[in-house]
Amino acid sequence: MLNKESLVLRSRIRLARNLKTIPFPHMLDSEKARNLVSQVEDAFYVSSVMEKDYQTKRMWELGRTDLLAAFEKHLVSAKLINNSDMAAYIIDDKEDVSLMINEEDHIRLQVMGKDLNLEELYTKATKIDDLLSEKLNFAFDYNLGFITACPTNLGTAMRASVMLHLPGFTFTDKIGYVSQALAQMGMTIRGIYGEGSQAEGNIYQISNEVTLGMREEDILYNLKDTIEKLLDEEQDHQRKLLNEYSQEMEDKIFRSMGILMNARLMNSKEALYHLSLVRMGIETELLKDIDIGLIDGLIINTQPGMMKIAYGAELTEKERDINRAKIIRSIF
């Protein structure tokens, strides 16, 4: 089998911050909220390097297609889109950093990567946080920590999360067990787009739930240790499936491969299902000479918003399904 970290699609560190004396975003009108966007920009763009590598996306200037594509790439949240008349985000050219302004909190800084190196992401997030704090007066209490709109984020106001591909747990009906075990450890499991989303394509996000009364370093250590144990178990489940149900699993995987290579119409949910099975085939080395990064790219780039970016916002649902199938066929 491939290295267990091949099961990791994305990692993220998110810090929530609010400014003293300014009401939370849900209490602001559009004018005051947009002024806050300018205030955060003034604190962020402190050098020509920053201006070269980053840009601000004012969401009230963007179309729905652009917003949907940003959501599918995990650059913004559903809440930020709901606040699009007064929200913005600052993004780097690699799309590894996204600083959301006027989401649930004034600032939600996200730093993302493609492996389990949460410490490196946290270091990068801390540097940006320190930069902002030089000009912005953050709301902080020595007993409660950083003050946030939702009490569950008090304390460090940090959420560390890892997006995992867990077909073994799914096909053996063990995801419920995982959810219960994580809850007991102060963690949570969600779908592909976080809170309120479904686990399509056997993709799940696991993150810390407790932020108050813990140090950032302890949160990172506990989450990483838990993830590594989950990955070991996932690989065990995959081996068990292939050993005990070899014909059935091989049929599923190769059938998915055949459909992806030949289908003329494919919706996004079906694409995720078959791409997940092919990814499992790569993880278990049943399928060789296929780049797993290619599959991960297709998982993002065949979503509805990304398809509209590529082929035009006026694309009908049928045209989208035709072009999605064409893209996948061309890759395979």
Contact 116, 162 (CB under 8 A): yes
Question: So what's the pLDDT on residue 146?
Answer: 97
CA 163 from centre of chain: 7
Read off the pLDDT of each residue in 83-95 and give the average, rounded to a whole number: 97
Domains of the chain: 4-235 (3.30.590.10), 245-331 (no CATH)
* Segment holding 186, helix H or strand E: none
**152: CB partners within 8 A, 6+ apart:** 209, 211
Higher-scoring residue by pLDDT: 36, 193? 36
pLDDT digits (tens, 9 = 90+) for 207-266: 999 999 999 999 999 999 999 999 999 999 999 999 999 999 999 999 999 999 999 999
Question: Confidence class of residue 310 from pLDDT cuts 50, 70 and 90?
Answer: confident
A 10 A CB-CB count for 188 gives 17
A 10 A CB-CB count for 54 gives 16
Mean pLDDT of the chain: 94
pLDDT digits (tens, 9 = 90+) for 267-288: 999 999 999 999 999 999 999 9
Question: So what's the pLDDT on residue 326?
Answer: 95
Read off the pLDDT of each residue in 16-29 and give the average, rounded to a whole number: 96
Cα–Cα nearest to 190, from 173, 175, 212, 205: 205
pLDDT digits (tens, 9 = 90+) for 167-212: 999 999 999 999 999 999 999 999 876 665 567 889 999 999 999 9
Instruction: Say whether pLDDT at 164 is over 90.
Output: yes
